[in-house]
Amino acid sequence: MSYQLDIDKIKQNFNFYEEKIRHNPSKVSRFLPYTSKKNDEDKVKDFAMVLGEFFRLVEKKRADENIVFSEILEKMLAKVTFDKEGDKEYFINLVNSIFQTENNKTYIFHPHIYLYLTTDTETKKMGRFLFDVLINESKQKDIVLQINFDTTDVLSKLFVEVLPQLESYQDNEKATYHCAIPNISTLFTKDLKWLLAHPNLFILHVEKLLKYYYFFYVSQFSLSCQRFLTEEELEIQPIYFNLEWESTSSNRISYENGWKKIEAPISVLFSHINCLEFLNHKKHSDSVYFYNDIVRKLKSVDASGRMKLLSELEKLIKDYMDKLPDTNWEGFKYKDTYDDPVKSMINKLFRAIDYQFNDSTRKKQYIMYRQWFVSFCQSNFIKVRGRLGKTLKLTPEYLLFITNLIIKDEPKIRLKKLFEGFKERGIEFDRDSQNQIIKYFEAINIIEKKSDSGDAIYVKSFL
């Protein structure tokens, strides 16, 4: 097998033929949905539109109908007979109070409402990204995920019945975004299927599910980039969380291995995305490779092919540096860290990309790219603790929700198994946090102790 770069296509897509190179990833490989433009903080906080696009993709429905509340009300009125004077006005007021929020949006009381939520370019990209990396690229793609929820409430049932019909379509398209960590998509599909089987929990918690798995995937992707040129399968690297209500200190393992563990990998995401884009400009293959895929491919390249690839990389790096004259390349220090010359040259390419972002006017792009994810984390999973700075937090609501996901339909599970379930989902707790969890579970009466031994402590289902 061969692994040969398409140098002409690289130069074309990165504007080598213009006055200055333009870092424009996502021409041949897409791993993340971000841009180097400033994000909209309100969109980061409002995740409902992202869910709308995600579930339209799940249900294979086109986003060509919005809920116009006045039209829905008229259709409902047409199906109701009123016997007494004033009943119609009472009905209208009742519908408005039940199904509309204070800011005149439709209250999400049923999963189908998500299908009608309006979207824009950025939230549509985010919904597509989550669908591709959590479902579409996984081995679970053929599992049918249907949002078929019946409701016994007469008004709710009537509201759902008069919603506009959405056009269905066959999704035969290749995924837009490449899933680098299929273990996460397999786990997500199991959790989503379970939540779909519990309608009341779905409405309450589906946004938490998508938000957490978004954090889970991107943080693990960042850590996987940090591992760089390894051929190993990408295993989950748990990150330590603190509980929102507990105090912490700088000498706890949860501090050193929480936000601090992922902050540095997140900060260089734009450099990795550009490096991966260079490396995915290949001849004779349209497949998208992550770093570990590339290393495995290199093992099958013969000596002649490796020499050619090494020469291509050396020339590419030279041309890249020449086309960025506003960077002080005299300050670029590079040291070989690999025995393999090809790996060393790939490493040099990445270091050059990262160096120029920090030594040019392009640093703003570099910061803006990562800020899409950092802003999301700040709104959902980060707590600022004075001099300690940022730490990862888990609120009581998230603690109980993920506990539910792990227990699922079991009457109870061992506490030890519960913590293993959290770890499987990328969440780890130090001893202090584990003790806080036990105290909290005791306070809400879902702990069953047969002895003080960890193996004899159970967490009861509380659906």
Q: Please give the average per-residue pLDDT across 261-282, as a whole number.
A: 96
- Tens digit of each residue's pLDDT (9 = 90 or more) over 253-265: 999 999 999 999 9
CB neighbourhood size of 425 (10 A)? 20
pLDDT higher than threshold 70 for residue 149: no
Output the pLDDT for position 102: 82
Q: Are 360 and 320 in contact (CB under 8 A)?
A: no
Backbone angles phi, psi at 286, to 5 degrees: -100, 0
- Tens digit of each residue's pLDDT (9 = 90 or more) over 200-259: 888 899 999 999 999 999 999 999 999 999 888 888 999 999 999 999 999 999 999 999
354-363, Cβ contacts within 8 angstroms, sequence gap of 24 or more: 354/268, 354/271, 355/327, 355/331, 356/321, 356/324, 356/327, 357/270, 357/271, 359/327, 359/328, 359/331, 360/324, 360/326, 360/327, 361/326, 362/23
- Tens digit of each residue's pLDDT (9 = 90 or more) over 399-408: 999 999 999 9
| Mean pLDDT rounded to a whole number for the chain | 90
Which domains does the chain show, CATH number per domain?
A: 7-27+266-371 (no CATH), 41-227 (no CATH), 239-248+381-460 (1.10.10)
Q: What percent of the chain has pLDDT over 70?
A: 93
Query: Which residue's structure tokens are 């031994």?
Result: 453
Q: Which residues pair with 329 in a beta bridge?
A: none
Higher pLDDT, 118 or 462: 462
HSE-CB at 60 with a 13 A cutoff on CA atoms is 12
CA distance 413 to 16: 59
pLDDT higher than threshold 80 for residue 163: yes
Q: Are 55 and 166 in contact (CB under 8 A)?
A: no
Output the pLDDT for position 94: 93
DSSP one-letter string for 105-152: PBP--SGGGGGG----HHHHHHHHHHHIIIIITSTTTTS---------
Lowest-pLDDT range, 58-72, 153-167, 231-245, 389-403?
Answer: 58-72
**What is the token pair recorded at 181?**
């960590």
CA distance 454 to 437: 13
Residues in the chain: 463
Q: Taken in order 145, 151, 155, 158, is the CA torsion positive or negative?
A: positive
Query: Which residue's structure tokens are 């056009």?
Result: 167
Output the pLDDT for position 360: 87
SS3 at position 392: strand
242-243: strand order across its sheet: 242-243, 390-394, 382-384
Backbone angles phi, psi at 274, to 5 degrees: -70, -40
Q: Are 282 and 3 in contact (CB under 8 A)?
A: yes
Output the pLDDT for position 65: 66
pLDDT higher than threshold 60 for residue 140: no
- Tens digit of each residue's pLDDT (9 = 90 or more) over 427-440: 999 999 999 999 99
CA distance 222 to 316: 25
SS3 at position 452: coil
Output the pLDDT for position 237: 94
pTM of the predicted model as reported, rounded to 2 decimal places: 0.93
CA distance 95 to 204: 21
- Tens digit of each residue's pLDDT (9 = 90 or more) over 388-421: 999 999 999 999 999 999 999 999 999 999 999 9
The amino acid present at 194, given as its one-letter code, is: W
- Residues 6 or more apart in contact with residue 319 via CB below 8 angstroms: 11, 16
pLDDT higher than threshold 60 for residue 144: no
Output the pLDDT for position 334: 85
Output the pLDDT for position 42: 64
Output the pLDDT for position 105: 83
